[in-house]
Structure 1
């Protein structure tokens, strides 16, 4: 869980199979119970960049397939990793 300037709180995920879209409702494990929130943005690193080392992101409305992405949503401050 990271606070990224211009985006707010984000989480890094590895989308292995399926599809995520802006506006989808997601449930994340939180320190005080489940966090139900809605995806505000889906960020991918620029081509040939690692998710954890870049500060330039592509903003997409829908992500499919296997890739690492950042999710921007409300209420992620107390999200748990793992």
Structure 2
């Protein structure tokens, strides 16, 4: 029998990833073409990223989408 593990996205960790890599929000905006105000909203958790945006940002800062979020296991 297989037990399915499910996850839901938790807190955005973009600010942590930027700090670890020494990038500013402005540098990320320049690297991705996204407006700095939108990057700020992702960092502050007032706006969620869609999958395409998360993939673009992850590639720009050399991490995976999984690295951008806290993942919470549930039944």
Per the normalisation by structure 2, the TM-score is 0.25
Q: Which has the higher helix share?
A: 2
Answer with 1 or 2: which has the greater Rg. 2
Per the normalisation by structure 1, the TM-score is 0.24
Which structure is richer in relative contact order (CA contacts within 8 A, separation 6 or more)?
Answer: 2
